[in-house]
Amino acid sequence: MSSEQPTAFDYLTRGRLLLRQGLLDRAIEDFDAAVALDDTLAAGYYCRGLAYRDGGDL
């Protein structure tokens, strides 16, 4: 991320990388931040659901 304030897309992108690495708690935090910044970001909700599923929380 740049020195500017991260955008929803920045959080989404990092969250997806963390998800692939199996760092589910950190990924969920980033997906939460993404949808907090842009509540129309469907991919943020979807990816957060994947992280919860992968963690056995669904």
CA angle 9, 35, 30 (to 5 degrees): 65
At 22 the pLDDT is 96
Entry pTM: 0.90
Sign of CA dihedral 25, 26, 29, 35: negative
At 7 the pLDDT is 98
At 41 the pLDDT is 97
Cα R_g (the chain), whole angstroms: 11
Sign of CA dihedral 18, 40, 55, 53: negative
At 42 the pLDDT is 98
pLDDT tier, 57 (very low <50, low <70, confident <90, very high otherwise): confident
Q: 3-38: per-residue pLDDT in tens?
A: 799 999 999 999 999 999 999 999 999 999 999 999
